Amino acid sequence: MNAFTSMSVAILRGFLRDKASVFFALVFPLMFLVLFGGLLGDQSESRVNLVQVGEVALFDDMPGPAREAFEDTFEVEKSDDLGAAIAQVENGDADVAVEMRDGEVVAHYTQTDQTKAAITQGALRAFVDGANVAATGGPPTYTLTTERVEDDSLSTIQFVTPGLLGWAVAMSAAFGAAATLQGWRQSKRLRRLQLAPVTTRTVVAARVAVTIGIALVQMAIFVGLGAAAFGLQLTGSWWASVPLLVVGTLCFMAVGLFAGATTRTVEGAVNMANFLVLPMAFLGGSFFPLDAAPGWLQAFSKVLPLYWLNEGMLDVLVRGDGPAAVLVPMVVLAGFAAVLTLLAARLFRWETK
Amino acid sequence: MAYGELRAVDGVSFEVAEGEFFGILGPNGAGKTTTLEMIEGLRKPDAGNIRVLGESPWPRNASLLPRIGVQLQASSFFERLTAREQIHTFASLYGVTAARGDEWLEQVGLVDKADTRVEDLSGGQTQRLSIACALVHDPELVFLDEPTAALDPQARRNLWDLLSGISRAGRTVVLTTHYMDEAEALCDRVAIMDHGRILELDTPAALVDRLDAPVRVIETRGTLEDVFLGLTGRAYRA
């Protein structure tokens, strides 16, 4: 094995045998993917729980097509006890209790869940109106047809996968570089390597190669799990995310070097990296879209490297943009990488005192 | 060589002959490690001239590096590798075969610890592995920085044997220590340093002879350490 290969193997072994590193690079971000993809993924409203008290002619005599629509909206449970039914609504076990009072349909509901309350009222009114029209025997004067328009906004999994992947890559690259710089300085391993006939370039290249390899594995796992379990669909130029991810990895290794160079212990370096990356994940749109954020925050996010990584990943992975969409993010990330590396080199001190 | 106000090493001059076993003695903070680091080429002296095997070690001299072997004070291992993986990595950094690494593992008595991770080695085993890593490429000149610090008597005596063997094989060895008995047992010549200066430099015997003060001679049948080792044996302990 040549020096580059054996250094890379040594570093990779060190990473794979460190359970904490593997957890934070792979398992931890995946937990978020499962959380966001699984829990927030199904945003379609569930049916309204309706408790029917006694006989309600409106429901019981509903004609076929209307009944189908009705059952799409309501989950009906029958009861003879009005008090118990209202209690069910009060403590949230049901959404609405309906009784018939001398030809009048009375619905008891709460405002706790305003969306459900609105759906309940609107739907019930529609069914009452429909029954009234039907009772006249004539055709309705107006009919309403609704058509769904495809919107540009992304479903949950389409949005969270690129963002969480960007965050995961940023985190493991920054933590890895920060811990390596401090750990190797303290154990004098950097000194020892200086005294071995290997160039700095070989040492740095080995460390970078391992980190990029880890980033690509992260991407494969994220995209694979997203597609297999949560219905993620990649768009045409998804492959353009690979070079973007590589530059993003370099950029966040530079963030890690900066964190390592400005601190004195491994713990301090990792904490500093966390301090830089975690707020960036929130403000750079890794966890939720910034479309609804105030203007100043949207403007501020553009000075964060993670914003550019996220945008580029979203563009090519799920928004269907062409490969050119990653060019600007790549240039910005490379710029951050260069500046932060230079800063780190200026701030790095061999001695702790 | 100065760190801010502190002159860590100040006007130190000495020469080490080929094949010599040279000791730098001194209390903690005397400037031993800094001196060694300047000779190895890790630090630039503020003033003066250093030649190692006829070449200048600063700036980093790539043609010199394969000819010298270095053991640093802190264990400069790769994390979470086994002893064998460790020495194989160093072997490949120096462009020698893995088999040579295995040979050195045997020479320092670590064959049964070959699959143990470096974090799980004892102090003595760590030092032996780090010396093996320093010698894996068969250097002409070896620097050892306090190799026996914090070792038990068994490990220390065994390490002495190992170091004598290295020296007998024709290598030049430069060693720092603050143990006098170690310097006496191993070194051809010693330099005694304090506050960044060399106070005396000669063979251990000559330095003792020169001692002018009245000396109380205790019968030289042996030391308490010999008693201890006689009772507990010299085999390596964990």
Tell me what ipTM this predicted complex has: 0.83
Touching B: A residues 17-56, CB under 8 Å: 17-18
Element (H, E) at B98: helix B98-107
Structure tokens belonging to residue A139: 């055709």
Q: Where are the alpha helices (DSSP H) in chain A?
A: 3-16, 19-22, 28-34, 57-60, 64-73, 82-90, 114-136, 156-186, 189-194, 200-230, 241-261, 266-283, 295-301, 305-317, 327-347
Asked if B236 is an interface residue toward chain A (Cβ–Cβ < 8 A), one would say: no
B121's torsion region: left (phi>0), alpha (psi -120 to 50) or beta? beta
Asked if A351 is an interface residue toward chain B (Cβ–Cβ < 8 A), one would say: yes
| Of the partner residues B65, B73, B85, the one whose CB lies closest to the CB of residue A10 | B85
Q: Give φ, ψ of B198 to 5 degrees.
A: -85, 125
Q: Is residue B44 packed enough to be buried (19+ CB in 10 Å), middle (13-18) or exposed (0-12)?
A: exposed
Q: What is the pLDDT of residues B155-208, one digit of tens each?
A: 888 889 989 999 999 999 999 998 888 999 999 999 999 888 899 899 988 888
Closest CA to A151 of A294, A325, A319, A321: A319
CA distance A118 to A201: 65
Closest CA to A247 of A195, A279, A208: A208
CB-side neighbour CA atoms (13 Å) of A185 = 19
CB-side neighbour CA atoms (13 Å) of A191 = 26
Q: What confidence score (pLDDT) does residue B123 get?
A: 84
| Of the partner residues B74, B75, B89, the one whose CB lies closest to the CB of residue A6 | B89
Q: What confidence score (pLDDT) does residue A209 get?
A: 96
CB-side neighbour CA atoms (13 Å) of A189 = 19
CA distance A111 to A105: 19
Beta strands in chain B (DSSP E): 2-3, 6-7, 21-25, 68-71, 141-145, 172-177, 189-194, 197-202
DSSP B236: P
Asked if A187 is an interface residue toward chain B (Cβ–Cβ < 8 A), one would say: yes
CB contact under 8 A, A189 and B92: no
B196's torsion region: left (phi>0), alpha (psi -120 to 50) or beta? left
Mean pLDDT of chain B: 87
CA distance A227 to B163: 61
Q: Give φ, ψ of B69 to 5 degrees.
A: -120, 140
Structure tokens belonging to residue A39: 């829990």
* Pairing, β B68-71 against β B141-145: parallel
CA distance A289 to A285: 5
Element (H, E) at B35: helix B32-40
Residue of B nearest to A17 (CA): B80
Asked if B85 is an interface residue toward chain A (Cβ–Cβ < 8 A), one would say: yes
* Pairing, β A96-101 against β A104-109: antiparallel
Block mean pLDDT (10 aa), chain B, length 238:
66 90 89 90 88 89 92 82 95 94 91 94 88 93 88 85 91 91 92 90 87 63 77 74
CB contact under 8 A, A197 and B65: yes
CA distance A14 to B79: 6
> CA of A148 to nearest chain B CA: how many angstroms apart?
58
Residue of A nearest to B81 (CA): A14
Q: What is the pLDDT of residues A336-345, one digit of tens each?
A: 999 999 999 9
Structure tokens belonging to residue B225: 């350490």
Q: What confidence score (pLDDT) does residue A46 get?
A: 66
Closest CA to B41 of B56, B27, B28: B56
CB contact under 8 A, A183 and B79: yes
CB A99 within 8 A of CB A82: yes
Q: Residue A227 to residues A28, A99, A157, B4: CA-CA distances in angstroms? A: 19, 46, 9, 59
Within 8 A by CB and 6+ apart from B155, the residues are: B122, B123, B124, B127, B128, B148, B236, B237
Q: Is the dihedral of CA A54, A55, A56, A62 positive or negative?
A: positive
Q: Is residue B46 packed enough to be buried (19+ CB in 10 Å), middle (13-18) or exposed (0-12)?
A: exposed
Residue of A nearest to B65 (CA): A197
Closest CA to A30 of A231, A169, A208: A169
Closest CA to A158 of A243, A218, A226: A226
CA distance A179 to A183: 6
Q: What confidence score (pLDDT) does residue A150 get?
A: 47
Question: CA angle, B28 as apex, B22 and B32 as ends, to 5°?
Answer: 35
**Cβ neighbours of B77 in A, within 8 Å:** 187, 189
CA distance B57 to B37: 10
CA distance A293 to A154: 17
Peptide bond before residue A329 is cis, with ω within 30 degrees of 0: no
Low pLDDT (below 50) residues in chain A: 150-151, 353
CA distance B195 to B211: 21
| Of the partner residues B40, B42, B81, the one whose CB lies closest to the CB of residue A10 | B81
Strand partners, A292: none
A102's torsion region: left (phi>0), alpha (psi -120 to 50) or beta? left
Residue of A nearest to B4 (CA): A353
